[in-house]
Amino acid sequence: MSVPAWIQDAIFYQIFPDSFAYAPPPAAIAGTHAIPQPSPDRLEPWDAPPTYQGIKGGNLWGIIDRLDHLEHLGITALYLTPVFQSASNHRYHTHDYYTVDPILGGNPALEALIDAVHRRGMKIILDGVFNHASRGFFQFNDILENGGNSPWLDWFKVTDWPLAPYDGDRPANYESWVNYRALPQFNHDNPAVREYLMGVGEYWIAQGIDGWRLDVPFCITAAGFWQEFRDRVRALNPDAYIVGEIWRDATPWLDGTQFDGVMNYLFTGPTIAYVAGDRVVAEHVAAPDYNATPPLDAAAYGQAMEQLLAAYPWDHCLAQLNLLASHDTARLLTIAGGDRASVELATLLLLTFPGAPSIYYGDEVGLPGAFDPDCRRGFPRSPSAFDEDILALHRHLIALRRQHSVLRSGRYRMLYGEGLVYGFARHTDTEAAIAVINAATTAAQVSIPLEAIAALPRELTQVHGPADAIGQRQGDQFTVQLPPRSGALWL
C-alpha cells in the first residue's frame, strides 16, 4: 500500500492535551453524561512550572475552542499525545484504551473534536502506546490482586514472585519499559494480547481518526506485529497515516510494510546544531538522542540533510514528521539561550524541508521550555502573552508552503555550503525555489551556481527574508547578500 498522498501537503500541530487549553463542555453534553471531574483546587496552576505528577486540567473541549487559532496559523492536521484514561498528566500510563480520560472530557469530547476537525478539512492522529500499559490497566491490576491465580497472567512478563510494583528497594519481578516499573510491558507473543492491541488500532480508526503515531515501536519485537497492524488499519482507512517514534536511522521501518514515516529527529538535531551552533545550552540537549551538539557548519549540515534524504524512498521522505521540538525535548528558544534568530532560521528550514512539518504547541507564540517536564508548560491563555513576531513568521512561512507545491513535493538539492552560509533548492520539472541561510554573525555575500536547476525562471522574487537581503541572477549564478543571522527564500 502506498504512502497517503495527503501527508506531503500536511502542516501538523502537536498538542500535549493537559497543557494546551481548557473549555467547559457544552451544556447538552454536561447535562447528559456523568463524566467525573477533579476538584478545581486540586489542579496545578496553569502558569506554574509543570511537574511530573501535577495535572493542569486541559481538555479536548479546549482544543475545539482553539481551532480558530490553529486554522489561522495554517495548520491542517493535529497530533495529540495520549488521550486515554490514565493516572499521569502525559497519559503514557494507559488504564483503558477504549476510554478517553474523563479529565479530557471522555469519549464525547473526542467524538466532538474529530467532527470539528474534519468539518474544517483537517486531519487528526492519536498516540498509540502499545508496548506497555500501566499498573492501573485492568489485566495487570488483576495480577497484582490475584497473583499466580490471575487469568491474565500471560498478558505480561512475570519473572518471579512476589511482584513489587511500587517498592523500588525490591526487584519488580516483571518486565517493564526501560525497567520503569510503572509501565509493565505486554507479552506480545500472546495471541490474545496481540489481538487486543490490533483491535484498539482498528476501533479508533473506525471512530474517525486519520492515523496513529506509535510510541517506542522498536520495543515490540514480535514477528510481523507492525506489518499486521498496518494491514488492518489500512484495510479500514487506506489513507490512514502511520508514523513511528524512531529517533535514529529508520530504514528497517520504512520498507513499505510498516510505517509511512517517523518522527524525524535526524532532521531536528543537525538543524539545531547548525542554526544555534555554540549558543546551544548543553544541559538542554544532553538527554534526547538527536545530536544537537557539537556545532555544525553549512557543509556538514548539508551533508547530513542529503544523507538523510538518500536513506529512504522518496515517497517516505515526503511522509516524515519533521520537527524542531516535542514533548520529549526542550524547546529551541530555550536550547539556544533565548536567541530568536536561531528559532527564525530553524523555522525557515523546517517549513522548506521535504516531509510534513510539525509545530509543537506554543512554539508558534514563543513559549519557552527546558527539558521534560518544563517543555510541557501551559499554552498562554491570553494573546497578550504571544510573541507576535514569531507568530507572524510561522503564519507567513506556513502560507508560503501551502501556496507553492514545490515547497511540499519538489526535490531537494544542496547548492552551497561554505562557512555558515547554506543554500539549497526545492525543484520540479516546472518550478523551483531557492533558500539561503546565513547563520554567521557577520554579513555574507556569496555566488551560488544554478546549473543543476533547470526550471528556474528568468527572475527570482524574494518572498521571505529581511528587506535588505539581495538576490540577483546573473546567468547560471545567483549572487546573494544577507545580513547576519538571517535567511531568505526566492521563488
Locate cell 469519549: which residue? 107
In this structure, the answer to whether residues 18 and 104 fall within a common structural domain is yes
220 lies in a domain?
yes
Last residue of a domain, one of 375, 403, 431: 403
Average the pLDDT over each of 30-44, 160-174, 176-190 and give the range with the smallest value: 30-44
- CATH of residue 472's domain is 2.60.40.1180
Asked if the structure places residue 356 within a domain, the reply is: yes
Query: Does 160 qualify as catalytic in the annotation?
Result: no
364 has catalytic annotation: no
The predicted pLDDT at position 38 comes to: 87
CATH number at residue 250: 3.20.20.80
Looking at the fold, whether 19 and 123 belong to one and the same domain comes out as yes
Averaged pLDDT, 296-308: 98
The mean pLDDT value for 110-136 works out to: 98
Domain assignment present for 176: no
Q: Has residue 145 been placed in a domain?
A: no
Q: What is the pLDDT of residues 223-239, one digit of tens each?
A: 999 999 999 999 999 99
* pLDDT-based confidence at residue 37 (cuts at 50, 70, 90): confident
- Residues 9 and 107 both lie in one domain: yes
- Same domain for 449 and 379? no
Confidence band, pLDDT 50/70/90 cuts, at residue 2: confident
Among candidates 379, 365, 370, which has minimal Cα distance to 328?
370
Residues 375 and 417 reside in one and the same domain: no
First to last CA, the chain: 34
pLDDT of res. 94: 98
SS3 labels along the chain: CCCCHHHHHCCEEEECHHHHCCCCCCHHHHHHCCCCCCCHHHCCCCCCCCCCCCCCCCCHHHHHHCHHHHHHHCCCEEEECCCEEECCCCCCCEEEEEEECHHHCHHHHHHHHHHHHHHCCCEEEEEECCCECCCCCHHHHHHHHHHHHCCCHHHECECCCCCCCCCCCCCCCECEHHHCCCCEEECCCCHHHHHHHHHHHHHHHHCCCCEEEECCHHHCCCCCHHHHHHHHHHHHCCCCEEEECCCCCCHHHCCCCCCCEEECHHHHHHHHHHHCHHHCCHHHCCCCCCCCCCCCCHHHHHHHHHHHHHHCCHHHHCCCEEECCCCCCCCHHHHCCCCHHHHHHHHHHHCCCCCEEEEECCHHHCCCCCCCCHHHCCCCCCHHHCCHHHHHHHHHHHHHHHHCCHHHHCEEEEEEEECCEEEEEEECCCCEEEEEEECCCCCEEEEEECCCCCCCCCCCCEEECCCCCEEEEECCEEEEEECCCEEEEEC
- Residue 32 pLDDT more than 80? no
Rounded to whole angstroms, the Cα distance separating 358 from 350 reads 8
Residue 272 sits in the same domain as residue 416? no
Tens of pLDDT, residues 368-390: 999 999 999 999 999 999 999 99
Do 219 and 318 share a domain, yes or no?
yes
* From 44, 210, 245, 363, active-site residue: 245
Q: Quick one: 384 and 425 in the same domain?
A: no
Write phi, then psi, for 434 (nearest 5 degrees).
Answer: -125, 130
The reply to whether 390 and 417 lie within a common domain is no
Q: Which of 403, 430, 450 is the last residue of a domain?
A: 403
Kindly indicate the confidence band of residue 40, based on its pLDDT and cuts at 50, 70 and 90: confident
Tell me which residue of 317, 335, 318 sits closest to 326, measured CA to CA: 335
Instruction: Examine residue 302 and state whether it is found in any structural domain, yes or no.
Output: yes
Could you tell me if residue 169 is inside a domain? no
96-115: average pLDDT: 97
Are 24 and 127 members of one domain? yes
Reading the block at residue 14, the C-alpha cell is 502537536
Q: What is the pLDDT of residue 452?
A: 84
Q: Show the domain range for 456.
A: 411-490
148 inside domain: no
Q: Are residues 475 and 376 in the same domain?
A: no
Catalytic residue among 215, 339, 363, 364: 215
Number of domains within the chain: 2
266 assigned to some structural domain: yes
Residue 34's pLDDT band, with cuts at 50, 70 and 90, is: confident
- Same structural domain, 381 and 442: no
For the cut 70, the answer to whether the pLDDT of residue 31 exceeds it is no
Q: Which of 372, 403, 434 is the last residue of a domain?
A: 403
pLDDT for 316-358, tens place per residue? 999 999 999 999 999 999 999 999 999 999 999 999 999 999 9
The pTM of the whole model exceeds 0.95: yes
